[in-house]
Chains A and B, each alone.
Chain A
Amino acid sequence: MTDIPNSFNLDGEPISFEPGQTILQAALNAGHFIPHLCAHPEFKPHGSCKLCIVVVNNRTGASCAMKAMPGLEVQSDTPDLNHRRRTLLQMLFVEGNHFCPGCEKSGNCQLQALAYDLEMFNDHFTHFFQPREVDASHPDFFLDRNRCIMCELCVRASRDFDGKSVFGLAGRGRDSHLVVNSPTGMLGDSAFEKSDRAARICPVGAILPKEVGFSKPIGRRKYDETPISQLAFTCDWEA
């Protein structure tokens, strides 16, 4: 236990926090990276991807959904936790249809960037090869469900920020998938616009802008230049 108020230990180092902050927020603000996908500072904690799992007083939990408390002993950057995170990433890769070499998001994709950062060298598990729908009906955006990781950031952004509720997550278990709020279920018939917050929130390549393909070559993009674990030091969450 540390005696300093409003401070906890992360991998042995003291981290100070503002009351009300989560462990993940406090760690990132203090310049300590904890991998995460579904967490975003503008939105309420979701806790679904489980990439940000930490061990607190011998119990595993999602650090995005755990309040920071004085004196906590938090483990994050340990071989065991990083191994578990790597397995979770492999699960996400085999569940969807992720084909990085042909994906416009390559280099700007948080899933890919975390996989590099955590040294995930293969998919390990058998691929699901689930058929998933691609929706190109919108003039400015593709909705490619093949790459969706169910983080619900677009759902939250459209509902809580844009006030439109364009997206929803439907289905159960591995049949979970994005649905669009429009008479036809197509993005082109929805209220979705280029200026929406939801248009710039997808951490992967499920919501992709049209007509800007490969304007910056792969190899010179955000996470090609700097590993995601270092970018998050500045709390730069944007893709």
Chain B
Amino acid sequence: MTARPAGMNEEFTMTQVSETVAATLDQIIARYGGDPGNLLQILRDAQDALDWLSPETQSAVAKQLDIPVTRVAAVVQFYAHLYDTPRGKYRVLFSHNITDRMAGSPALMAHMLKRLKLKRGIVSDDGLVSVGKTSCTGMCDQGPAILVNNRAITKLTLRRIDEICDLIRARAPLANWPAHYFRVEDNIERADMLLGSAYAPGEALRAAIACGPTGMMAEMRKSNLRGRGGAGFTTAVKWEACRDAKGSGSGEERYIVCNADEGEPGTFKDRVLLQSFSERVFEGMAIAGYVTAAHKGFVYLRGEYSYLRAPLEAKLAEMRRNRLLGMSICGVPGFDFDIAIHMGAGAYICGEETALIESLEGKPGHPRVRPPFPVTCGYKNQPTVVNNVETLCKVTEVALHGGLAYAGTGTRQSAGTKIISVSGDVERPGLYEYPFGVRVSQVLDDAGAYDAIAVQISGAAGQCLTPQEFGRRIAFEDVPTAGSFMVFGNNRDLFEAALNYSHFFEHESCGFCTPCRVGTALVARIMEKIHSGHGARYEFNELNRLHQLISTSSHCGLGATATNALQDIMTKFPTVFDRRLIKRDFEPGFDLDAALNRAREVSNRDDANAHLAEGIDA
């Protein structure tokens, strides 16, 4: 690059840039009706257009929406995929989930950094590209995966990394990259009730209408359908509470929210449901609206799944054309229901329903104080149902076959089938749908896991099972799961998994409450100390103590579960830690010689006398 003379010329360029920025922002803000509630959506679109959100952009947005600039800054700095510093024209993020790492992502990332002559997280001198890492992108069955400007690329190899580096260097627009890079496979390996059945659009809606709102609610009750997001709350109870709740104020309204913020590491079932079964998700939402007298629905789609947005919008348009959404659905007067898609921007916490609602309102995803619960006081303080993607699909089954028939499969407390996202050391990673009650061992056999030493169920927040527990059943009454099923073969070191989870939670803690904000960071530091070979029994005990505090005193489910997997690995797989702990009672984490690095740099010395003698023992 040639140096540009400073002065008039530069100032002129600045003004030009400002005018372009202003024009771009005008358009985006107009598209969202100038509503500060759409702040997150506005900022996402602004970044797509401008590559990053400069202080200038942030003040302009604040001014136009007539909100304090602190509110804009709070949102920009909360979401991992919004940037308040330049990150280049091409922003590459490697999925940092343990399954991507096991599939070789660290070596691929190192290769890319070398090819592009970059350091991780630092933008290239020409402002072209940056390479970093991000939490699980939901491509665990076809990893290692990356996101480039929010677009997912799967099945990475060294060769493909080379090709991508060439495309970036050539400044090829993302739209011109080979289409097969962006292909995301469904990988349905075992289909049952949901994934295996034929489906006629509108059939479930018409079946629900034939029952009437009260009749359909009765079917829901009979079905004993429970939420598939992990907590397993009975769906009918949620719907009834919302239906019977009084809205507040003049804007009295009820809302149906589809939680598509599938962020639990190792889970990718919702991705497939939204890619290939979206009409069922939407019909499930419309049925929920019909039963609870809600007229508006939102799909909260995680930013990592941005590629799904256009096909989902097309599907919504098609359903509107076919009168399956919109006014007087299926010709029923008064049955008005429509759906809008809201995008997330890299925040695991937004899978928590009250954090999700905050995010829908254009705020940082801080979980609310509960009670009141969303069913009485949710989006815009109105009664709101928040259901998982898979749950809403199951609603169509209840509508089509009736509650009793639905309750006929699965176990007594867990009716119906469950989709499991299998990844890790298996021959056939992908989706496996079984009636509830299936044994872990059967899933392992079907997926071709021959040497499993552990299965991490329900993601980083779930439990880690030993081979002695593989006879247990997937069900709310035994091993509950939101769907994640990560398999570890006998060459794996579970400490790496535990370390990975500790970094995940440190990164994803929203920072609202003390135990989770500080505790997850302390856990990560202790894990790093053990990893570096300086951990003793003291650190092990310290992790136990922190687990006790964080799991019992945190504000929401994230903190309550943040140390679960770690605790499981510590208690069920003691050798994983034992072989890393030193014999002494304690070793300080502070390295005096390393602390002198900066002084050596400044004095430009690196001779023997500039180092502390080895083995020095003060």
Contact = CB atoms under 8 A, between A and B. Distances in A.
A5 interface: no
A94 interface: yes
B110 interface: no
B514 A128 contact: no
Interface string B578-614: 0000000000010000000000000000000000000
Contact of A49 (B364, B510, B514, B520): B514
Interface string B30-71: 000000000000000000000000010001000000001111
Interface in A61-93: 62, 65, 84, 87-88, 91-92
Given A47-B369, A65-B369, A168 B73 contact: yes
A95 interface: yes
A80 to B, nearest CB: 9
Contact of B511 (A62, A88, A125, A173): A173
Nearest to B526: A126
Interface in A183-204: 183, 185
B77 A172 contact: yes
> Which of A49, A165, A171, A172 counts the most chain B CB atoms within 10 A?
A172
Nearest to A94: B518
A45 interface: yes
A173 B558 CA distance: 12
B521 to A, nearest CB: 5
Contacts of B521: 95, 128, 173-174
A65 B369 CA distance: 7
Chain A contact patch, size range: 35 or more
Contact of A181 (B68, B347, B364): B68
A51 B545 CA distance: 17
A157 B94 CA distance: 41
B232 to A, nearest CB: 18
B507 A125 contact: no
Given A50-B513, A91-B514, A92-B514, A171 B555 contact: no
B549 interface: yes
A36 to B, nearest CB: 12
Interface string B326-344: 0000000000000000000
Given A45-B369, A47-B513, A94-B518, A170 B73 contact: yes
A50 B555 contact: yes
Contact of B74 (A169, A173, A183, A185): A169
Contacts of B76: 170
Interface string B511-529: 1111101111110010000
A10 B507 CA distance: 37
A53 B69 CA distance: 34
Given A91-B519, A150-B511, A179-B74, A174 B68 contact: no
B553 interface: yes
Interface string B251-281: 0000000000000000000000000000000
B70 A167 contact: yes
A99 to B, nearest CB: 18
Contacts of A65: 369
B79 to A, nearest CB: 8
A180 interface: yes
A175 B77 contact: yes
B224 to A, nearest CB: 26
A181 B508 CA distance: 26
B27 interface: no
B60 to A, nearest CB: 12
Contact of B514 (A48, A165, A183): A48
B506 interface: yes
B518 A95 contact: yes
B555 A179 contact: no
A172 B73 contact: no
B532 to A, nearest CB: 13
Given A172-B77, A172-B78, A60 B369 contact: no
A113 to B, nearest CB: 17
Contacts of A94: 518, 522
B598 to A, nearest CB: 14
Contacts of A87: 545, 549
Interface string B69-89: 111011011111000000000
B555 A48 contact: yes
18 contacts: A47-B513, A49-B514, A50-B513, A84-B553, A88-B549, A91-B515, A91-B518, A94-B518, A150-B511, A150-B514, A165-B70, A165-B71, A168-B73, A173-B511, A174-B509, A174-B518, A175-B77, A179-B70
Given A48-B555, A172-B80, 6 more contacts: A51-B514, A94-B522, A172-B79, A173-B506, A173-B507, A174-B506
Interface of B: 55, 59, 68-71, 73-74, 76-80, 347, 364, 369, 506-515, 517-522, 525, 545, 549, 552-555, 589
Interface of A: 45, 47-51, 53, 60, 62, 65, 84, 87-88, 91-92, 94-95, 125-126, 128, 149-150, 165, 167-176, 179-183, 185
Task: Across the A-B interface, give the 5 residue pairs with the lowest CB-CB distance, nearest first.
Answer: A168-B70, A91-B518, A176-B511, A170-B77, A165-B68
